[in-house]
Chains A and B, each alone.
Chain A
Amino acid sequence: MSADASDLSLVRRVQRGDKGAFDALVLKYQHKLVKLVMRYVRNPAEAEDIAQEAFIKAYRALPQFRGDSAFYTWLYRIAINTAKNAVVSRDRSPIEYSVDRSSDESYDMQGRMKDAETPEGLVLTDEIRSIVNAAIDALPEDLRTAIVLRELEGLSYEEIAAAMDCPVGTVRSRIFRAREAIDRRLREVFEGGLGRAEELG
């Protein structure tokens, strides 16, 4: 199994003109990138702006990406540099951003107030977290262990197989079933009358 094969296959598609593949990369890494940028800026809204800018920079620079390093490592460097530049430029001029947001209809003051660290955003974050935690608690022991080792500890399937003394195929199946159970619970809650169906995308 080659590491980063999945990212690389998506990256190659983007390089061949498939923008939809880039959506998948953004969906996969947006949380990690925002978390990373939060080391440099305290404001979550600003962190989102910087992460967004980093993604756009990465897209524009993708023709030069040869796959010598993992895609996330490369994206990580872009995000760090973008965050550092943003901090410097913010120190000079507090409200300067290089990304044009004029076309983003959802971007307005009201949208800013809905950021994750605002009361509404925190409720939403906590809500998602509590649903996920409840769903994990409801999982059978073998599924729960597999998903936690994978997502919290970052172990590979092979390492989890060794830890759980089972074949790699079984690990793959357990992790998949754990995700499906959590995902089902999330969709039930958000599509079941909480008025947040739009959050499901």
Chain B
Amino acid sequence: MNEELDSQLSAMFDDELAPAECELLARRLSRDEQLKARWGRYAVIGAAIRAERGVRLNARVARRVKLIMSSEPALGAPQVARRAAMPRWWRPLAAAAVAASVATVSILWLRTQAPAPLTALTAPRAPLTGAVAANDAAGGPARAVRAASGKTDSYTVPPAPRGSGAVVPAAELASYVVAHSMFSQPVARGNLLSSFMANEAPAMASPAVAEPPQDPSRDAQIQTQ
């Protein structure tokens, strides 16, 4: 063993070695088991001079710590540098940002999964189909008709085929309304029938005519019946 090295080790043990020399010797000390053993004996000599209790040349504490340390992960430089570079206040903010992002994505996803809005019930074809939907909800004959035709039930008004002004021909619907007149007010029934009569002629004349003109007031009137 080099005497100068041992002298440096003794001075380093006493914190009396220059920092630059400490760096070099610390590197060697961490790898050289003989040097480390000598270092440990220096500690024992000091403890024995101070008459400390329980002094052993190879104390179990160091042996057991070394054993546990063998299963501990080494502290890496990148980890240390990253932790030192990132201020502590930044961590809760980063966590909050992640939580907000997750919440936003969840809300957007839930919106795409939600059922169609209720406004579909007042679609342009509502003047006629509103009554059908009301009747359907009550388990009326419209449901039986659709069941017979193999169409599935829906909580919304089924779309009318393009080019047709009404879901059901006006005459049939007028008959249906008359047959069920006991459930409606006479004035409203009269308005409805006159509306059918007015719409029937152009619908029969040009089946390709687009959807009937919207009349919000009439929609409201039918919905209230």
A interface, CB within 8 angstroms of B: 1-10, 12-24, 26-35, 38, 44, 47-48, 51-52, 55-56, 59-60, 62-64, 66, 99-101, 103-104, 106-107, 111, 115-117, 121, 124-125, 128-129, 131-133, 136, 147-148, 150-152, 156-157, 172-173, 175-176, 179-180, 182-183, 186, 190, 196, 198-201
Chain A residues with Cβ below 8 Å from B80 are 15-16, 63
Contact A190 B43 (CB under 8 A): no
Interface positions, chain B 1-25, Cβ under 8 Å from A, are 6-7, 10-19, 22-23, 25
User: B58's closest neighbor in chain A, by CB?
Assistant: A201
A-B contact pairs, 19 of them (CB 8 A): A6-B17, A9-B26, A19-B70, A22-B69, A26-B62, A27-B36, A28-B13, A28-B43, A31-B54, A38-B53, A62-B75, A106-B60, A125-B55, A128-B55, A128-B56, A129-B51, A172-B10, A179-B45, A186-B57
Query: Is B218 located at the chain interface by the 8 A CB criterion?
Result: no
Q: Chain A residues near B60 (CB, 8 Å)?
A: 48, 106, 111
Bound together, the chains give a CA A19 to CA B39 distance in angstroms of: 16
* Number of residues on chain B facing chain A (CB within 8 A): 65
- Taking CB atoms, residues of chain B closer than 8 Å to A20 are 29-31, 36
- Partner of A14 from B62, B75, B84 at Cβ < 8 Å: B75
User: B111 within 8 Å of A by Cβ?
Assistant: no
B residues in contact with A156, CB < 8 Å: 16
Question: Apart from A9-B26, A32-B47, A190-B57, what are 17 other A-B pairs with CB-CB below 8 Å?
Answer: A1-B17, A5-B17, A5-B19, A6-B15, A16-B76, A17-B75, A17-B77, A24-B36, A26-B66, A27-B39, A104-B68, A116-B53, A136-B49, A148-B49, A183-B45, A186-B41, A199-B57
Partner of B52, one of A26, A31, A182, A196: A31
B-chain residues with CB within 8 Å of residue A173 when the two chains form the complex? 7
Residues A107 and B51 in contact, CB atoms below 8 Å apart: no
Q: Chain B residues near A99: list those with CB within 8 A.
A: 68
Taken together as a complex, chains A and B put the C-alpha atoms of A176 and B22 apart, in Å, by: 16
Q: Nearest residue in A to B41 (C-beta to C-beta)?
A: A183
Asked if A19 contacts B72 (CB within 8 A), the reply is: yes
Q: How far is the CA of A8 from the CA of B39 in the complex (A)?
A: 16
CB distance from B36 to the nearest CB of A (A): 6
B22 touches A5 (CB 8 A): yes
For the complex formed, measure the closest distance between the CB of B8 and the CB atoms of chain A, giving whole angstroms.
Answer: 9
Asked if A23 and B10 sit within 8 Å, CB to CB, the answer is: no
B174 at interface by CB-CB < 8 Å = no
Q: In the assembled complex, which residues on chain B have CB atoms less than 8 Å from the CB atom of A12?
A: 23, 26
Task: Let me know if A26 and B65 touch, CB within 8 A.
Answer: yes
Judge if B180 is at the interface, Cβ distance under 8 Å. no
Tell whether B98 is near chain A: CB-to-CB under 8 Å: no
Q: B46 an interface residue at 8 Å Cβ cutoff?
A: yes
Shortest Cβ distance from A100 into B: residue: B68
CA distance in complex: A33, B47 (Å): 11
| Given A34-B54, A125-B53: A19 in contact with B15 (beta carbons within 8 A) | no
B62–A199 touching, CB < 8 Å: no
Contacting pair B44 A128 (CB below 8 A): yes
Assembly CA distance A179 to B39 (angstroms): 10
Tell me the bound Cα distance from A191 to B19 in angstroms.
Answer: 35
Known: A13-B30, A20-B30, A24-B30. A129 touches B77 (CB 8 A): no
